[in-house]
Structure 1
Amino acid sequence: MIVLDGVTKRYAGQAVLDDVSIRFGGEGVTALIGPNGAGKSTLFALVGRLLRPDAGRIAVDGEDVAKASSGELAKVLAVLRQDNHVAARLTVHDLVEFGRFPHTRGRLTVHDRDHVERAIAYLDLEPYRGRFLDELSGGQRQRAFIAMVLAQDTRYVLLDEPLNNLDLRHMSETMKLVRRMADELGKRVVVVLHDINFAATYADRIVAMRAGRVVADAPAAEVMRPEVLQAVYDTSVDVRLVDGRPVALYYG
């Protein structure tokens, strides 16, 4: 379980995460939603120890993140940020191999190579394994990064806006993949999303944030209500049932 207890993060005296206490990892897929500046990416950066909190405690499976070694933390928790700074002239295979670094420090065994091959196969990347990242489409590149995370073989996977810059088809394919990772592989995925309809379709639980605080935390159907979404986004939102599923309509 990923546990945040009274976590606060400030920039220039302004709290971007304000006394947040929450648990993640009980459901297969949790969607983290909210307007820009709500604190979603900051929360991910704190859990992944890319930032240090100003107050509070974060633990993963009972281990204090502030005290855990980077190598051990990376064996149970994978964080895929939206701003991945990786050399474009890296092949898909080489990128996926990076996922095994916490386990091998660069010296891959037969066991590690098996993880790499399974991740490439699971993401249907075999035809592209020798291609450089800058030779791929946006959707193919995103699949390669998710394959790297999959090869890391962690229980918890945090994906920060994985649909960013993807077209509708690849957004749908990515979310179907996230769902499969939870259902077939037992991963506990927490994903930051801007599209609340994708959140409602693919997530078991939605956590809504606003101004650094959690304002809603419930099964997806319970968050997809006009009064809840209006409180989160401060704009008119209607919710209609389409084939039995709640769909949000924005009026601006």
Structure 2
Amino acid sequence: MIVTSEVTKNYGNSCVVDGVSLTLPACGITAIIGPNGAGKSTLLSMISRLMGMDRGSVTVDGLDITKTPSDVLARRLSILRQDNHMTARLTVRDLVSFGRYPHSKGRPTANDQRHINEAISYLALDELADRFLDELSGGQRQRAFVAMVLCQDTDYVLLDEPLNNLDMKHAMGMMKLLRRAADDLGKTVVLVLHDINFASWYADTIVAMKHGKVAAQGPVKEMIRPEVLGPIYEMDIKVHEIGGQLISVYYG
């Protein structure tokens, strides 16, 4: 499991993440939601060690991320950032192969090639494997980046707004793939989401942030409630259910 203790990040006089203590369960999908500026992406960046903390600690299965060697941590935890643009002209296969670097150190073995091929197939990219990234649609490119992260073969997969710039069809397809990866491959997926409906349909656990703090957290059925979400977003929020099954969330 991932445990954060009093994690804090300041920018000048502004506290972006304020003493966040969390225990993120192993296996399944945890969605971090909340309004803009709530500190979601900053928290995820600190958990993945892409950004330093001003105070607090993060452990992954008991490993302190500030003391664990990079190559060891990279075999346990992978992250896909929001700004995942590549300036080099790469094929899908080239990109996905980067996910094996923590294991191969640039000298891919037959086992690494197997992981690359499996990740490409898992994301249904076989026909696009030799295409350049700049020749793909936004949804296809995003699938390629997720394939790279899965190819890293870590227990923990962190994704910062993986639905960014995707239309509804591709966003739904991406969430189905992540749900399948959590269920079939036993991955622990932690992702930042803006759309509450996608969190409600595909996540197991929801962490809601506001003003740099954790405003609420728990299983989906406990979190997707007007009395929980309304104060966090400062909006009138309605939850539509049929027979006790959540159908959709309306913003008023």
Question: Would you say same fold, with TM above 0.5?
Answer: yes
Deviations 1:125-145 (A, max 9, x none): 000001111100111101100
- Stretches of structure 2 that go unaligned for 5 or more consecutive residues are none
Determine the structure 1 residue equivalent to 2:226. 226
The answer to whether structure 1 residue 127 and structure 2 residue 118 are counterparts is no
Deviations 1:145-184 (A, max 9, x none): 0100111000000111011100110010000001000000
Contact (CA 8 Å) 1:88, 1:132: kept in 2 or not? no
Q: Which amino acid aligns with 1:245?
A: L
Let me know the Cα RMSD of the aligned residues.
1.1
Q: Which amino acid aligns with 2:115?
A: H
Determine the structure 1 residue equivalent to 2:68. 68
Determine the structure 2 residue equivalent to 1:56. 56
Provide the C-alpha distance between the structure 2 equivalents of 1:52 and 1:72, rounded to a whole number of angstroms. 18
Contact (CA 8 Å) 1:28, 1:183: kept in 2 or not? yes
Provide the C-alpha distance between the structure 2 equivalents of 1:215 and 1:67, rounded to a whole number of angstroms. 29
The answer to whether structure 1 residue 163 and structure 2 residue 151 are counterparts is no
Deviations 1:32-88 (A, max 9, x none): 100011111001110111111111111111111111111111100001011113235
Alpha-carbon distance change, 25 to 59 in structure 1, aligned in 2, over 3 angstroms: same
Determine the structure 1 residue equivalent to 2:114. 114
The answer to whether structure 1 residue 189 and structure 2 residue 185 are counterparts is no
Determine the structure 1 residue equivalent to 2:17. 17
Provide the C-alpha distance between the structure 1 equivalents of 2:50 and 2:182, rounded to a whole number of angstroms. 25
Q: Which runs of 4+ in 1 moved over 2 A?
A: none
Determine the structure 2 residue equivalent to 1:8. 8
- The share of aligned pairs that are identical, in percent, is 57
The answer to whether structure 1 residue 177 and structure 2 residue 169 are counterparts is no
Provide the C-alpha distance between the structure 2 equivalents of 1:27 and 1:80, rounded to a whole number of angstroms. 18
Q: Measure how far apart 1:27 and its partner are.
A: 4.2
Provide the C-alpha distance between the structure 1 equivalents of 2:18 and 2:129, rounded to a whole number of angstroms. 43
Q: Which amino acid aligns with 1:124?
A: A
1:80-159 equivalent positions in 2, closer than 5 A: 80-87=80-87, 89-159=89-159
With the length of structure 2 as denominator, give the TM-score of the two structures: 0.97
Q: Which amino acid aligns with 2:203?
A: A
Q: Measure how far apart 1:26 and its partner are.
A: 2.8
Q: Which amino acid aligns with 2:246?
A: R
Q: Measure how far apart 1:242 and its partner are.
A: 4.5
SS where residue 166 of structure 2 aligns? Answer: coil
Q: Measure how far apart 1:25 and its partner are.
A: 3.2
Contact (CA 8 Å) 1:88, 1:133: kept in 2 or not? no
SS where residue 249 of structure 2 aligns? Answer: strand
Residues 56-65 or 83-92, more deviating? 83-92
Provide the C-alpha distance between the structure 2 equivalents of 1:77 and 1:164, rounded to a whole number of angstroms. 21
Provide the C-alpha distance between the structure 1 equivalents of 2:84 and 2:163, rounded to a whole number of angstroms. 14
Q: Which amino acid aligns with 2:221?
A: A
- Stretches of structure 1 that go unaligned for 5 or more consecutive residues are none
Q: Which amino acid aligns with 2:238?
A: D
Q: Which amino acid aligns with 2:108?
A: L
SS where residue 209 of structure 1 aligns? Answer: strand
Contact (CA 8 Å) 2:27, 2:187: kept in 1 or not? no
Contact (CA 8 Å) 2:6, 2:19: kept in 1 or not? yes
